[in-house]
Amino acid sequence: MAKAAKLKVTLVKSRYGRLKKHRACIAGLGLRRINHSVIVEDTPENRGMINKISYLLQVEDA
């Protein structure tokens, strides 16, 4: 079985003043503050959250 691809996701803009659903996506990805990075698996669920709040994030391969 192949290893699952990983993505490094960094929050680069503030979560304050955003839509409730967008704040939920930030929390769902495990991001807590500006410039906080997490490594998540490249799954359709995570991709959906990343696409929804892409204007707040920086995404790279991990």
The CATH number of whichever domain residue 10 belongs to comes to: 3.30.1390.20
Residue 34 carries which side chain, given as an amino acid letter?
Answer: I
Give 42-54 pLDDT, tens digit per residue.
Answer: 999 999 999 999 9
pTM of the model: 0.89
Give 10-30 pLDDT, tens digit per residue.
Answer: 999 999 999 999 999 999 999
What does the alpha-carbon distance between residue 62 and residue 22 come to, in Å, rounded to a whole number? 23
CA nearest neighbour of 2 among 42, 48, 61 = 42
* 51 in a structural domain: yes
* 35 in a structural domain: yes
What does the alpha-carbon distance between residue 50 and residue 6 come to, in Å, rounded to a whole number? 13
* 19 in a structural domain: yes
* 28 in a structural domain: yes
Pairing of strands 6-11, 57-61: antiparallel
* 48 in a structural domain: yes
What does the alpha-carbon distance between residue 1 and residue 23 come to, in Å, rounded to a whole number? 34
Query: Can you name the residues that pair with 34 across neighbouring β-strands?
Result: none
The whole-number pLDDT of residue 3 equals 77
The whole-number pLDDT of residue 2 equals 65
* 44 in a structural domain: yes
Number of domains the chain contains: 1
